[in-house]
Structure 1
Amino acid sequence: MVDFTLNAKARNDLGKGASRRLRRNADLVPAIVYGGEQEPQSIALEARELKKALENEAFYSHVISLSVDGKSQEVLLKALQRHPAKSHVMHADFLRVVAGHKVTVLVPLHFINEDACVGVKKSGGVISHTMTEVEVSCLPKDLPEFIEVDMAKVELGQIVHLSDLKLPKGVTAVALTQGADHDLPVANVHAARVASGDAAAEGEESAE
Structure 2
Amino acid sequence: MTVEFALNAEARSDLGKGASRRLRRIASLVPAVIYGGEKAPQSISLLAKDLAKLLENEAAFSHVLTLNVAGTAETVLIKALQRHPAKGFVLHADFVRVVAGQKLSAHVPLHFINQESSVGVKQQGGEVSHTIVEVEVSCQPQDLPEFIEVDLAQVEVGQIVHLSDLVLPKGVELVALAHGNDLAVANIHASRVAKEEGAAE
Name the TM tier (shorter chain).
over 0.9
Distance 1:192 1:115 in 2: 13
Distance 1:134 1:88 in 2: 24
Distance 2:110 2:71 in 1: 35
Compute the displacement of 1:194 (Å): 3.3
Distance 2:162 2:31 in 1: 39
Could you tell me which runs of 5 or more consecutive residues in structure 2 were left unpaired when the two chains were aligned. Answer: none
1:41-80 equivalent positions in 2, closer than 5 A: 41-80=42-81
Could you tell me which runs of 5 or more consecutive residues in structure 1 were left unpaired when the two chains were aligned. Answer: none
1:44-88, Cα deviation, whole Å (9 max, x unpaired): 000000000001000001000110012111000000000111111
Identity %: 66
Provide the residue aligned with 1:110 in structure 2. 111
Provide the residue aligned with 1:155 in structure 2. 156
Provide the residue aligned with 2:121 in structure 1. 120
1:195-206 equivalent positions in 2, closer than 5 A: 203=200
Provide the residue aligned with 2:169 in structure 1. 168
Compute the displacement of 1:36 (Å): 0.7
Q: Does 1:28 align with 2:29?
A: yes
Q: Does 1:135 align with 2:136?
A: yes
Provide the residue aligned with 2:187 in structure 1. 188
SS of residue in 2 equivalent to 1:52: helix
Q: Does 1:81 align with 2:89?
A: no
C-alpha contact 2:125 2:194 (8 A) present in aligned 1: no
Distance 2:193 2:152 in 1: 23
Distance 1:184 1:102 in 2: 23
1:137-172, Cα deviation, whole Å (9 max, x unpaired): 001000000000001111111100000000001100
Provide the residue aligned with 1:13 in structure 2. 14
Distance 1:122 1:115 in 2: 10
Letter in 1 for 2:75: E
Structure showing greater Rg: 1
| Alpha-carbon RMSD | 1.5
